[in-house]
Amino acid sequence: MYRSHNCGELTSTDINKEVTLAGWVQKIRDKGFIVWVDLRDRYGITQLVFDEERTSKTLIEQAQNLGREFVVQVKGTVIERASKNPNIPTGDIELLVSELNILNEAKLPPFTIEDKTDGGEDIRMKYRYLDIRRNPVKNSLIFRHKVTQEVRNYLSKEGFIEVETPYLIKSTPEGARDFVVPSRMNEGQFYALPQSPQTFKQLLMVGGMDKYFQIVKCFRDEDLRADRQPEFTQIDCEMAFIEQEDILNAFEGLTRHLLKEINGIEVEKFPRMLYDDAMRLYGNDKPDIRFGMEFGELNAVAQHKDFKVFNSAELVVGIAVPGGNSYTRKEIDKLIDWVKRPQIGALGMVYCRCNDDGSFKSSVDKFYDQDDLAKWAEATGAKPGDLICVLSGDKNKVRTQLSALRMELAERLGLRKPDEFAPLWVMDFPLLEWDDETNRYHAMHHPFTAPKPEQIELLKTDPGAVKANAYDLVLNGNEIGGGSIRIHDKETQALMFDYLGFTPEEAKAQFGFLMDAFQYGAPPHGGLAFGLDRLVAILGGQETIRDFIAFPKNNAGRDVMIDAPAPIDDEQLNELSLKLNLKQ
């Protein structure tokens, strides 16, 4: 055997044992007459000692010639450590080495393999196999494993069956661009990689599987950001013979289980909020409710004076920043600059100080008196010592802008605590949303989402007002899961395709297999998909997902380690009957 023990398990109970260890050289401290080496593997670090009083000169010279990240095997005796290290499990002992075998030499790494490394993100992604040796990344991947095991165990106990669905499927419009795969055997034809297993899980319900889940890779060719990757993992679930309440209860249970088992936190309440209220109070459909700063709409109390900026706005809206009256003018000016950045796009910001004596001082005192400003405070819930920040403009834009400001302020104020968890259901999304570019409606979620049963007739007269039988599960301001009750009859599905601009022929070509299946007794069904990468990151107290993915892509969708995507040669192109038409 290469090792009898790992580098994280030896303790004082093992003193005087003869053991064999193997791992990577973390650090070397050479005093000439004595050499200490930290040996590391996945499980921890054990200190090795080469002492001229007890070790041969040849062995000490071997140790002195070791380099960082050399792979070695050592044999020796466990002894009590003279200078103990209480920060590691093996800190009471060290290994007096009697035999050293170099299994593989190593080049000097391009960054230090330490918890706090000197390597930037780009270089660490290029050498990801080295980055994984670092505790933060290693522990994140182990943490992900723990979460997925808990998910599998919980769902299996609840009667769900894990079923694999294909990766090579047909291209279907589901909101994002597909990654396509040419077929050599079917000239001129293409597979697509699934954006989700949506139609397959519905077919499994038609097939009578009743409760399905799958931890599955999905693919979307879309613009990236910190919490998004071109390939990502879903916990995909579907249930038959259920109503919306059954779905919510089932996945509240899973979320509650994960929070308890992974984080040791009991969460009983899963509040529910209508989509319209989420947009009105927080400006987005995934609000972080760990803190307040709800929006206060000010049209009624701000558009009666001669301030043209407010009078011409579709919406005037503000938030109260707790303790914000302590901000200096310079700090407030920086906030104004922040909202005027291109990423936010506001033209400016009005503010109002709520003084401790109950008076107010605003940047628009020329137009508003104390009574007016008191009404602003009432509408936003501001108290003495707070600061009211006000934006105005187009309703949808200004809500998005103020939502971004709310989150930025919460970050600065330390209100987004990673060890606090506040789940929330957001309900009753619009079924359809209008797209000015294509001049037609698109499904807000996907074409198989059922409308509220009582609103089906509205599709004929006011399709934009129809609500979907859809729900998102939000945790700490992040959407961690979303789903809906599905359409399960051919007539309603055909009607939905019609309102999405599909001709009967197009619907048949794209989704004929699903429409055909519905004719053979499709049960009422619905489901939900969790974003596993994001869920794991939030449970791990982080916002970004990269460290919880073994080999992530960068913001351009590239794997810089293997240099992909990459061109293919002319022979492969010819074999696939492809010709490139690249823009110059």
Contact (Cβ atoms closer than 8 angstroms) between residue 339 and residue 405: yes
How far is it, in rounded angstroms, from Cα 528 to Cα 533? 15
Please check if 18 is assigned to a binding site. Answer: no
SS3 content of the chain, % helix, strand, coil (to 5): 30, 25, 45
Tokens 């990766």, residue located: 167
Among candidate residues 400, 385, 387, 413, the one with its CA nearest the CA of residue 319 = 387
Residue 417 is encoded by which pair of tokens? 């605590």
How far is it, in rounded angstroms, from Cα 360 to Cα 385? 10
Please check if 440 is assigned to a binding site. Answer: no
How far is it, in rounded angstroms, from Cα 151 to Cα 1? 35
Please check if 256 is assigned to a binding site. Answer: no
Residue 290 is encoded by which pair of tokens? 């760990």
Helix (H) or strand (E) holding 158: none
Helices (H), 237-328: 244-263, 275-282, 299-302, 308-311
Please check if 314 is assigned to a binding site. Answer: no
Cα–Cα distances in Å, from 392 out to 50, 337, 540? 71, 16, 37
Phi/psi at 182 (5° precision):
-70, 145
Please check if 433 is assigned to a binding site. Answer: no
Would you call 51 exposed, middle or buried from its count of C-beta atoms within 10 A (0-12, 13-18, 19+)? middle
Amino acid present at 385: G
Is the dihedral angle over the CA atoms 148, 152, 157, 159 positive or is it negative? positive
Angle, CA of 461, 467 and 468, to the nearest 5°: 125
Helix (H) or strand (E) holding 436: none
Helices (H), 264-415: 275-282, 299-302, 308-311, 329-339, 370-380, 395-412
Contact (Cβ atoms closer than 8 angstroms) between residue 202 and residue 514: yes
What is the tally of helices (H) and strands (E) in the chain? 17, 22
Please check if 534 is assigned to a binding site. Answer: yes
Please check if 64 is assigned to a binding site. Answer: no
Cα–Cα distances in Å, from 187 out to 56, 192, 569, 577, 581? 70, 15, 18, 7, 18
How far is it, in rounded angstroms, from Cα 488 to Cα 505? 20
Please check if 245 is assigned to a binding site. Answer: no
Please check if 229 is assigned to a binding site. Answer: yes
3-state SS assignment for residue 456: coil
Cα–Cα distances in Å, from 191 out to 171, 431, 502, 517? 7, 29, 21, 21
Please check if 506 is assigned to a binding site. Answer: no
Amino acid present at 387: L
Contact (Cβ atoms closer than 8 angstroms) between residue 521 and residue 206: yes
3-state SS assignment for residue 572: helix
Query: Strand 478-485 relative to strand 470-475: parallel, antiparallel, unpaired?
Result: antiparallel
Count of CB atoms within 10 A of residue 357's CB?
6
Please check if 446 is assigned to a binding site. Answer: no
**Which residues make up each annotated binding site for ATP?**
220-222, 229, 479, 531-534
**Which residues make up each annotated binding site for L-aspartate?**
174, 220, 445, 486
**Which residues make up each annotated binding site?**
174, 220-222, 229, 445, 479, 486, 531-534
